[in-house]
Amino acid sequence: MTDYDGTLVPIRERPEYALPGPGLLSLLRRLANTSRVALAVISGRDADDLKKLIPVKGIYLAGCHGAEILFPGGERHTAVEIDKLSPVLEAVAAQARKCVSGREGFLVEKKRAAVALHYRMAGRTAALKALDGFETAVRPLAMEHGLEFVAGRMVLEVRPRGVNKGETVRRLMNLHPCCCPLYFGDDTTDEDAFRAVRENGLGVLVSGRGPVTAASHRLTGPHEVLRFLQIISA
């Protein structure tokens, strides 16, 4: 089980720039066809976005931290009511756009089950001011509709409370109880997943440096993740 951005591919300035190379797709196809391996990509991206980026049959694709899961057989499972949630998230996205209007370096990403405010290309002072204004404006709406704020790598996300990568990992572990669970991730949103596999498997933080983590192991970047996956696919 692995995150996408920052784990399988390097972090880019904008999400649409983080494309998989042919070598990665070939490796994932080989893993998907390995009988002793069950493969899942769990990301903050939309599940349909993952499907376009990773056109590989036979794997699980979990979008928005697990709010939606595309199963290998083609079924789609949702943990939230997308249709009811959509107008609320539209209001959240509108507030985000208002808070960053006229400011450079921000990106508001409206997803099917979350809204992400990216500030990777913004200055520190501008980012702090925009984030503070965004949280203040959206907090009443979040409390009313059961949403929560989640900080990631240069992004602040609003998503349904209780939807996280840890719960998604537990669900996949229950579907494959005979597998030894491995989870690779690079961000604070991956910590729930690290805690979920800690007792029976391995959590691998993909970062050369960082704060205290629930992961038991560490790799320095996506190139080392790909090398590890090449080894277990041999």
Query: What's the CATH class of domain 15-79+163-233?
Result: alpha beta
Query: What's the CATH class of domain 82-160?
Result: alpha beta
For the chain, what is the mean pLDDT? 94
Q: Rounded to an integer, what distance in angstroms lies between the CA atom of residue 195 and that of residue 191? A: 6
Residue 153's pLDDT is: 85
Residue 209's pLDDT is: 77
Residue 204's pLDDT is: 97
Residue 198's pLDDT is: 94
Listing DSSP states for 58-100 in one string gives T-EEEEGGGTEEE-TTS-EEESS-HHHHHHHHHHHHHHHHHHH
Residue pair 170/196 in contact (Cβ under 8 Å)? The answer is yes
Residue 208's pLDDT is: 78
Answer whether residue 5 shows pLDDT above 80.
yes
Q: How confident is the model at residue 15 (pLDDT cuts 50, 70, 90)?
A: confident
Give the catalytic positions in this structure. Answer: 3
Query: What's the whole-number mean pLDDT along residues 33-51?
Result: 95
Residues near 151 by beta carbon (within 8 Å), at least 6 away in sequence: 157, 188
Query: What's the whole-number mean pLDDT along residues 134-145?
Result: 95
Query: What's the whole-number mean pLDDT along residues 90-111?
Result: 94
Query: What's the whole-number mean pLDDT along residues 154-178?
Result: 95
Q: Rounded to an integer, what distance in angstroms lies between the CA atom of residue 105 and that of residue 103? A: 7
Domain locations in the chain as residue ranges: 15-79+163-233, 82-160
Q: Rounded to an integer, what distance in angstroms lies between the CA atom of residue 201 and that of residue 183? A: 8
Query: What's the whole-number mean pLDDT along residues 160-172?
Result: 95
Residue 70's pLDDT is: 97
Answer whether residue 222 shows pLDDT above 90.
yes
Per residue in 185-218, pLDDT tens? 999 999 999 999 999 999 999 997 777 899 999 9
